[in-house]
Structures are given as C-alpha cells and as structure tokens.
Copies of this chain bind each other. A is one copy, B any other.
Amino acid sequence: MTQNNLIVLLTDFGLSDPYVGVMKGVIKNINPGVDIVDLTHEIRHQSITEAAFCLMTSYKYFPQKSIFVCVVDPGVGSERKIILISTDKYYFLAPDNGLVSWAIENEPVQKIIWVKNSKYFLKPVSSTFHGRDIFAPAAAHLSLGLKPDLLGEEIKDIVRIPFPKPVSKDNVVTGEIIFVDHFGNLVTNISRDITGRTQASKVSLNGKTMDIKDSYQSVCAGKPLAVIGSSGYLEVSVRNGDASRYFSSKEGTKVELKVS
C-alpha cells in the first residue's frame, strides 16, 4: 500500500534559486503522489535558532505523520550527522545541530536514526547540497512507508540547544526577542505561562514601557503594545505599524516584564 505522509519543508535556501524546486523534483521523482508544503524557506541565513523557533511554534498545526524536512545546515559537507527523529506523531529530518531540539521538548521521542544508508541517497552525493542528495530522497522514501530503521543506525544522543529561558530577579522577569516577523512584530521568549503566573501587566523595551493588551485594537494606530502572540509568546507590536523599526530592536534585545 502506498502511504502518503505530508512532507513539510523548512530551509534557509530562499526562493530565488532553483534549490527548493529541485528538492521537490527529487521528491516527486520518488513519490509522485506525495503532497509537499513549504513552511518557509526564508530562515535567516544559517540561523539554527530561528529555524528551531519556527519549527517549535508551527509543527503541531500539521497532520499527524507529517515529515518535517529541515535544512538549515552550516555544517553541510562536514562530519555532522543527519538525523531522523520519530515522535509519537511526527517525523523530523534535520542536521544534528540542535534545530529540532525545541520542537521535541514536549513530544515523546520514539527513536532517533542517524541517516547514513546511502542506498537511499542520490549519487554522487555533493558536498554542498545534501538537501537535494540526502534529505529529499530520504523524506520521499519515508513518505512511501519506508521503515526509519532502514535509513541508518539508531543513536541516543543528539545535539541540543537550550531554549533561552527568561530570568526572574526581584520583581522583574528579563527575557529577549527571539524572532522578528515580516510585519516587524517582536516575538519574545516570555511565554503565556509566565505572563499568566506573574500577573504582569507592563513590559519595557529600550527604555519604553507599554501595557499588555488583549488585541491590537486596544491602542490607537501607530501606538505600541504588548500582546500574547499567536505562537503563545509575548510579542511587542505597533498597531498598523512596524515595532522592529519603532523600537530599533532585533533578535537578542532584552525585554523586561514588571511583575505587579
């Protein structure tokens, strides 16, 4: 029986080159019936943490048994492993560089396979484009129902990147911006749990303080606010504007939550 899991692509390849299209060609050549969805290909060049955050906040909206193919891979061509992580609900195929660490924090991991069985690779394997030569064909074979074990050897340890947790001291929780979106919204690492628990109502960023509101409409156009964003994390936004420009802020900028 032909199985047809959804394949979801997450890379920093951009869409201006033919690289993503070629990966899809390789996949369709092996499994013409499989469906492919782009999560995004505009991860900041080689930013493993940006990819990790996008994956963490997105994967659970996809159908069970989806195969996430994540290629943000500064170590391509080196000895870094390629791994396939099977959880109860999903497959994650990625370089072993921490990209998947945040996504699997709440997903029971069943098995981790070091993908090394070249039988399922394109030959010759280039040293610069494993997305085409290894990731795409491995995912396509998986989508046809190939058992993960056949792709390589089981391992126990993988590279993990710690999620940057906010720090509490006195009556202040200090977090940071971990993602800036296309609208200029500044997504922080301060989760809904923390704002809920602390009953905090004010946030400071670059010397400006603003209220935590329920929606953009609680302030006038052009005015800043903080809001629990769609990812479940506190975001600093400007209604009908660009908070990233308004605050001259980017990834890494500190954000303070004043606990009442």
Interface residues of A (CB under 8 A from B): 6, 8, 10, 13-22, 24-26, 28-29, 32, 35, 37-42, 45-46, 54, 57-58, 61-63, 66, 74-78, 126-129, 132-133, 181-183, 214-217, 227-230, 235, 237, 240
Given A77-B216, A183-B45, A216-B77, A63–B28 Cβ distance below 8 Å? yes
How many copies of this chain?
Answer: 3
B62 touching A182, Cβ below 8 Å: no
B18 touching A57, Cβ below 8 Å: yes
**C-alpha spacing A62/B18, complex, angstroms:** 12
**C-alpha spacing A208/B54, complex, angstroms:** 39
**C-alpha spacing A17/B179, complex, angstroms:** 10
A interface, over-half SS:
loop
Closest-by-CB residue of B relative to A66 is: B25
Closest-by-CB residue of B relative to A216 is: B77
B28 touching A62, Cβ below 8 Å: yes
Smallest beta-carbon distance A252→chain B, Å: 18
**C-alpha spacing A15/B9, complex, angstroms:** 13
Given A25-B63, A78-B217, A126–B45 Cβ distance below 8 Å? no
Smallest beta-carbon distance A147→chain B, Å: 22
Partner of A37, one of B24, B37, B63, B76: B24
B216 touching A128, Cβ below 8 Å: yes
Query: What are 30 A-B contacts with C-beta separation under 8 Å?
Result: A6-B28, A15-B41, A16-B40, A16-B182, A17-B54, A17-B182, A18-B40, A18-B57, A18-B58, A21-B40, A21-B58, A22-B61, A25-B58, A25-B61, A25-B62, A25-B63, A28-B37, A28-B63, A29-B62, A29-B63, A46-B240, A74-B240, A76-B215, A77-B214, A77-B215, A126-B230, A128-B216, A128-B230, A128-B235, A129-B229
> Please, which residues of chain B bring their CB within 8 A of the CB of A182?
13-14, 16-17, 19
B229 touching A126, Cβ below 8 Å: yes
Closest-by-CB residue of B relative to A63 is: B29
B32 touching A6, Cβ below 8 Å: yes
**C-alpha spacing A237/B45, complex, angstroms:** 14
Other A-B pairs, 10, CB within 8 Å; known A21-B38, A61-B132, A132-B230: A16-B182, A17-B42, A18-B40, A22-B61, A24-B37, A75-B217, A76-B215, A78-B216, A127-B228, A128-B215
**C-alpha spacing A37/B36, complex, angstroms:** 9
B58 touching A181, Cβ below 8 Å: no
